[in-house]
Amino acid sequence: KRNDTVSSHDLISPLAHSLADQSTEKSKSKPNRRIQKSPTAEKKRASIKKNDSARKTNVSKRRFRPGTRALMEIRRLQRSTEMLVPRLPFARLVKEILMDMHPVGQEPYRIQTSALEALQEFSEFYMSEFFMDA
């Protein structure tokens, strides 16, 4: 007697069989790490995402009138005592100028830290006065 029934296994190509065998081998070596999710946890996550997106859309950026932001920055800079120009780039500039000035064959000029600080203080004062007059 001949069996005329065809199973779904017979309809799949040999390549598909080999791929299926490989995937089952991989799944055998590594445990399935899928986490079961409860419906209540999903609802909580959805509501949190919904609330976050609602908060982000409702928050409007504060708008200042023209010139207000500039005045705030001026007041902040007047209150502060720190240097406006970073110390290291200013020191590099001063050293470069000193290297250009010293004669060939002599030792390069050296400058003390306190002198460099005083020079930076005065140069920033001069620049701010210069820009005020402009």
- Give the pLDDT score at 6: 52
Looking at the domain assignment, is residue 104 inside a domain? yes
pLDDT-based confidence at residue 23 (cuts at 50, 70, 90): low
Whether 28 shows a pLDDT value over 60: the answer reads no
Alpha-carbon distance 111 to 101, whole Å? 13
Task: Please indicate, yes or no, if residue 122 is contained in any of the structural domains.
Answer: yes
Which pLDDT does position 20 carry in this prediction?
A: 58
User: Is 103 inside a domain boundary?
Assistant: yes
Which DSSP category does 30 fall into? Answer: S
Domain enclosing residue 94, as ranges: 85-133
**Contact partners, residue 120, CB within 8 Å, separation at least 6:** 83, 85, 87, 90
Read off the pLDDT of residues 42-63 as tens digits, 9 standing for 90 and up.
777 776 766 666 566 677 888 8
Q: Rounded distance, CA 66 to CA 56, Å? A: 25
Q: Is residue 102 part of a domain?
A: yes
Task: Report CA-CA distances (Å) from 33 to 27, 28, 30, 36, 42.
Answer: 10, 12, 8, 9, 18
pTM of the model: 0.46
Residue 67 within a domain: no
Domains: count for the chain: 1
